[in-house]
Amino acid sequence: MRDVISILDFSKSEVLELFELTDEVLSGKFKPRLEGKIVATAFFEPSTRTALSFTSAALSAGAKVLGFSSDEATSVSKGENLADTIRMLENYADCIVMRHKLDGSAKFAAEIAKKPVINAGDGKREHPTQALIDMYTVRKLFGTMEGLTFGFLGDLRYARTVNSMLRILTMFRPRMVYLISPPQLRARAEILEELNYPVKELTDVRDIIGELDVLYVTRIQRERFLDEDEYEKVKESYRLEYRTVEKMKRDSAILHPLPRVSEIDRRIDSMPQAKYFLEASYAVPLRSALLHEVMAGD
Ligand code: CP
């Protein structure tokens, strides 16, 4: 394995193998060994979880980490372009973990770099390692990833984590996927065209809440709106309420890639369905296993 640009760079069997390796990392049966390797974390957009969990994963495997968390501290602020920045980073590191606001930037970087590039989020396009964490959580909770009923609630137009999740689900034959959003934030047609499972679009999660095994919530991606007025129109257009979750099956799960803003009532955090912090806790073992797969064979 080299670059990780889209979740569809993985076959189903590669996903399952990665999850088995993650199980072994979590249980302590396997410890990734990346001594002598250097990971570059190139974050042109803000991040807490992705940047720091990749850093923690790399450090705990014995690798060294360098990088930046904003382009303001780099020569991009002097006008250097992405291509030249990538050419420099591959002189300094064995693997580049990159987040950038431009759709397609990860693929562009991978075409330039001879070293592996891992997409940590490219614009509104994809966030493949987040989808791996999300599906790993589903597998841990349900013991299967097949035949489940999913609901995706929120900004389905701009949330890259949703695109990667909808794509990974093409490997696992969900029973039904409900896409729940205000009309302005519906999933984009080019994603819907790829899906090989039953999908229904609706606007009110309460209509199907009792059917769901997994409810995946996203915040409104304010940073993707070109027009602030458009954001103002939709910013409070959905919210998951305590009373709605009371109607969920007790063994169902609410996931969220985080960060959350106001789209989940905080009282839900203590309900049995709230699994988003558990989900976040799998980031380091999963990204440790992934870094091992990407770099250990070099
Ligand atoms: N889930 C996620 O990508 O979070 P960060 O933006 O904090 O990395």
Cβ of 259 closer than 6 Å to ligand 1, yes or no, is: yes
Cβ of 48 closer than 6 Å to ligand 1, yes or no, is: yes
Neighbours of 142 (CB within 10 A): 16
Q: Give me the domains of the chain, ranges plus CATH numbers.
A: 7-126+283-295 (3.40.50.1370), 129-280 (3.40.50.1370)
Centre of ligand 1 to C-alpha 14, Å, is 24
Note if the pTM is more than 0.75. Answer: yes
Residue ranges of the chain with per-residue pLDDT less than 70: 1, 297-298
Q: What is the pLDDT at residue 1?
A: 57
- Closest ligand 1 atom, CA of 257? 1
- Closest ligand 1 atom, CA of 46? 6
Centre of ligand 1 to C-alpha 49, Å, is 5
Alpha-carbon gap, residue 215 to 107, rounded angstroms: 30
Cβ of 218 closer than 6 Å to ligand 1, yes or no, is: no
With beta carbons less than 8 A apart as the criterion, state whether 64 and 90 touch.
no
- Closest ligand 1 atom, CA of 45? 6
Angle (nearest 5°) at CA 194 between 134 and 100: 55
Centre of ligand 1 to C-alpha 259, Å, is 6
Of 49, 99, 125, the residue with max ligand 1 atoms within 8 A of its CB, to mutate for a pocket test, comes to 49
Cβ of 257 closer than 6 Å to ligand 1, yes or no, is: yes
- Closest Cα to atom 4 of ligand 1: 49
Centre of ligand 1 to C-alpha 130, Å, is 8
Angle (nearest 5°) at CA 231 between 225 and 233: 150
**What is the 3 state secondary structure string of the chain?**
CCCECCHHHCCHHHHHHHHHHHHHHHHCCCCCCCCCCEEEEEECCCCCHHHHHHHHHHHHCCCEEEEECCHHHCHHHHCCCHHHHHHHHHHHCCEEEEEECCCCHHHHHHHHCCCCEEEEEECCCECHHHHHHHHHHHHHHHCCCCCCEEEEECCCCCCHHHHHHHHHHHHCCCCEEEEECCHHHCCCHHHHCCCCCCEEEECCHHHCHHHCCEEEECCCCHHHCCCHHHHHHHCCCCCECHHHHCCCCCCCEEECCCCCCCCECHHHHHCCCECHHHHHHCHHHHHHHHHHHHHCCC
